[in-house]
Amino acid sequence: MTYIPHLNYVSEEQIKKLHEYGVGLLANLGMRVEDPQIRALLCENGCTQKGDRVYFCEDLINRTLKAQKRNVTLTSPVTGMKKEMEIGKTFIHSTGGAPWIADMKTGKRRNGELNDLIDTIRVMNQLPELDVPCALVYPSEVPSAITQLQQTATMLEYSHKPIYGPGISIASNAKYIAELFKIYGGNDLQNNPIGLVGISPESPLFLPKEITDTMSHIVKAGIPVSILAAPMGGLTSPLSVAGTVGQAHAEILAFAAVAYLMNPECVMFYGSRTFFANMRNSQSILGLPETGISSALAVQLANYCGFMSDVYGLSCTSCAMDEQAGYEKMINGLLPAIAGATMVTGFGSTASVMCCSLSQLVLDNEICAMIRKAKKPFEFSDEELGLEALEYVINDGETFLEQEHTIDHLRSEVFQPSIGFDSVWADWIKCGETPLTERAADRALDLIRQDVVPEVKPEIKTEVDKLLELAKRELL
């Protein structure tokens, strides 16, 4: 059955108008492209330039959209686990690159370390609602010149699942990350991808040379890319949902066109990252409902253009694992999911993705289970109505508890939480009235103990070590 989104924020006519607005921005305002070789490549394909700005032609945009892949299968090179992604199915990936982590003992934030990154991966291995792990935390003791490479190497070593590499912004890291992917996945990453990475254009409407150089290493290697356009309403884009989404759309289209010219077969995700600020202090905050609304609108645009989408998300402004985090994450995760997002992010984060925690990973797994329950198409057969059971109860004086219909639906019909409390006050007292956050912390530690580190072939480990040493000699 073709997936029909449960939520459309605007009509198809308005989505078409928003798409045409984005195309118009590229035609009339253009995109600043720093690399003269990329400008020349675009002009060879029908665009024009004035100084360092390139004005895109509609023909190139149309060719780019026509080439978009509507599905991709990611396969873990270590365990063989597959994630078969396509437009209409919703997958969950974690936040990437939080500088802080909440300490399991004190609950206070501190700088993340490499051991924290490993622990988060091992918890994510055991969470059924988390499909694709990302490098949740930056290891502060790793030099910044190689941190993106080290994050990727650590994920490939410890993850049971195909990975979402860190958002890459350093071309020198991208070169080595492409080689790292080849060590694990072979040279045909185009047809056998083991994961994806994110790369961001800059707002408003700018492709720095460092970014196009980064793109060149990744896109030409055939590694799937999420285009992380991240304008912030009122600061780097107009202060409106439509204006910010429209600008992000233009930036994604421009990036996609350049990537298409580098490699027409590259898989790309529409990675809209629309942000809105607290205008009293000019700080980006991700718990606003506009995060979910703009993400849902971006999903509509992505579906209209034939892109798989990747949006926020289970994000929150709250700096604690509290009620505010719960309701912010639920609204911002539910809206894009029921709009048909291919991937939803924010999993594991707090404080506008500046902090993360092992406990929050467990809590977000529960939120995602509820979102998937809500997103599941609601269909029923005559049997599911339970008429026969009702007749036995009415006519023969039986109870519903003894009916086959009740037994058949006992585990599947009503949601069963994995961490949340689902009984009555008397049972709450019997179980010690333990707070949810404490239960989540205990569960996270149990999951680490349950995790089995996957075996990496010795020859792969040797090649990775050589690559990391080579990168350190060049970059440090």
- Kindly report which listed range (65-74, 136-145, 393-402) carries the lowest average pLDDT score: 393-402
What strands, in cross-sheet order, belong to the sheet with 275-278?
Answer: 232-233, 275-278, 283-285
Residues above pLDDT 70, as percent of the chain: 99
Dihedral sign computed on CA atoms, order 92, 93, 98, 104: positive
- Spans of all domains in the chain: 66-375
Q: Report CA-CA distances (Å) from 454 to 76, 150, 180.
A: 11, 18, 17
3-state secondary structure at position 8: coil
Q: Which of 205, 215, 244 is nearest to 33 (CA)?
A: 205
The answer regarding whether domain 66-375 maps to CATH 3.90.1580.10 reads no
What is the pLDDT averaged over residues 355-375? 95
Q: Name residues whose C-beta falls within 8 Å of residue 280's C-beta, 6 or more positions apart in sequence.
A: none
Q: What is the pLDDT of residue 357?
A: 95
463 C-beta neighbours (distance < 10 Å), count: 16
As a whole number of Å, the CA-based R_g of the chain is: 23
Q: pLDDT, tens digit, for every residue of 60-69?
A: 999 999 999 9
Separation CA 430–CA 359 (nearest Å): 23
Instruction: Please report the pLDDT score of residue 219 as a whole number.
Output: 97
For residues 428 and 423, what is the distance between their CA atoms, to the nearest angstrom? 7
What's residue 253's pLDDT?
98
Instruction: Kindly report the number of other CB atoms within 10 A of residue 270's CB atom.
Output: 28
What pLDDT was estimated at residue 406? Answer: 86
Q: How confident is the model at residue 200, as a pLDDT?
A: 97
Per-residue pLDDT band for 5 (boundaries 50, 70, 90) equals: low
Q: How many CA atoms lie within 13 A of 186 on its CB side?
A: 10
Q: What is the mean pLDDT of the chain?
A: 94
The mean pLDDT value for 118-141 works out to 96
Q: Specify burial of residue 94 (Cβ count, 10 A radius: 0-12, 13-18, 19+).
A: buried
Per-residue model confidence as pLDDT tens digits over 149-190 = 999 999 999 999 999 998 999 999 999 999 999 999 999 999
pLDDT higher than threshold 60 for residue 213: yes
- What DSSP element (H or E) covers 227? strand 225-227
List C-alpha distances in Å: 300 to 201, 331, 377, 404: 21, 17, 18, 42
User: Looking at residues 217-230, what average pLDDT do you find?
Assistant: 97
Asked if the model's pLDDT at residue 3 lies above 80, the reply is no
Predicted pLDDT at 1? 34
- Check: CB of residue 257 under 8 Å from CB of residue 30: no
- What is the pTM (predicted TM-score) of this model? 0.93
pLDDT at 4: 59
pLDDT at 384: 84
Q: Tell me the per-residue pLDDT of 302-349, one tens digit each, with 9 for 90 and over.
A: 999 999 999 999 999 999 999 999 999 999 999 999 999 999 999 999
pLDDT in tens, 368-416: 999 998 888 777 888 888 888 888 888 988 888 888 888 888 888 888 8
